[in-house]
Amino acid sequence: MSVPTDPDRTDPAGVRSRSVVSWGLNAVGIAVVAFWFVRNGLLLHHPAWVWVLGAVALAAWAVREGARTPRVLVAAAGVMIAAGSCTVVPTDSLLVVPVITGLVVLGADLHLPVWTAAVAALAAVVVVAVTATLEQTSVQFVLGVSGGLLLGVLVGFGRRQVRITTAQARETERQQQRARLLADRSRASRDVHDVLAHSLGGLVLQLDAVEALLEAGRVDEATRRAGEARALAADGLAEARRAVHALRDEPEPDEPHPDQPQPAPSEPTRASSPSADHASGLTALVDAHRSFGGELVVQG
């Protein structure tokens, strides 16, 4: 099954379409968490590994905000989850924020399996539980952190569903536009076929009439018929050009201006009722064919 296109990756460069408000909120979040991480670290005298992993988690969060490719985005989210989950307990759950953010990113990514965020959250819970055991932290703390991670998974899944719905709506709209375009082209193709069939058929009858009149010595009438054949050919060529313009989605050269008065619906025009013109033209050709002794045979 094909994966719908992610609406956040529709531009050729792969730059995510993010609003200024979203960028601002994430920047504020990074600044606030970094401030309290440094402040609490100085007060509680965090060991070096906490400083390193906390800094890595915050740096990955910042990289995630500026990521321009899907691989960098997913990699940054993975680092946020891995480094952040190791420092949740020492920082008194402060760095659970980048972990939750990373889970939201993984859950909302349409190019990843739907279970990716859930597996990552389960791994983060295991790391938090092991760290809590080593630090002799209460079970309630682990359960609270687990609830926050579950919330991140649910938020990511919700964003995924919104993106899928949006992508499907856009795809449906594109399919409808394509269907309308194909219908218009098919109709224009039929018009070209009808115009050429009528024009060439009428031209053949006129030339047959000219040939018969010349054989009978009726030169003047043959000349008149030749002029009618030329007019029929020119008229068919003009009709074919109009149909081709419609097939190419180009405006017709003689298309009336919107401010000009339009003919009433009941008035037959060449574009609105071509069948009536074709029928009258064929009637005239049939009469002309019979006038010099020709016979008409209709086959069903």
pLDDT per residue as tens digits for the range 228-243: 777 777 777 777 777 6
Least-confidence region, from 170-174, 184-188, 261-265, 280-284? 261-265
DSSP state, residue 142:
H
Looking at the chain, the whole-number percentage of residues with pLDDT higher than 70 is 73
Rounded-to-integer distance, Cα 107 and Cα 153, Å: 6
**Among 19-28, 62-71, 149-158, 277-286, which is the least confidently predicted range?**
277-286
Which residues contact residue 56 at a Cβ distance below 8 angstroms, ignoring those fewer than 6 apart?
79, 83
**Which amino acid is it at 119?**
V
- 3-class secondary structure, 2: coil
In angstroms, rounded to a whole number, what is the distance separating the alpha carbons of residues 53 and 96?
13
Give pTM, 2 decimals: 0.59
Cα–Cα distance measured from residue 255 to residue 242, given in angstroms and rounded to the nearest whole number: 10
Instruction: Look at residue 15 and tell me whether its pLDDT is greater than 90.
Output: no
**Every domain of the chain and the residues it spans:** 7-174
Rounded distance, CA 124 to CA 84, Å?
9
Sign of the Cα pseudo-torsion (190, 193, 199, 202, in order): negative
- How many Å apart are CA 84 and CA 249, to the nearest integer? 57
What gap in Å lies between CA 126 and CA 113, rounded to an integer?
A: 21
Q: Indicate if the pLDDT at residue 223 is higher than 50.
A: yes
285, with CB counted inside 10 A (0-12, 13-18, 19+), is buried
Q: pLDDT confidence of 128, banded at 50, 70, 90?
A: very high
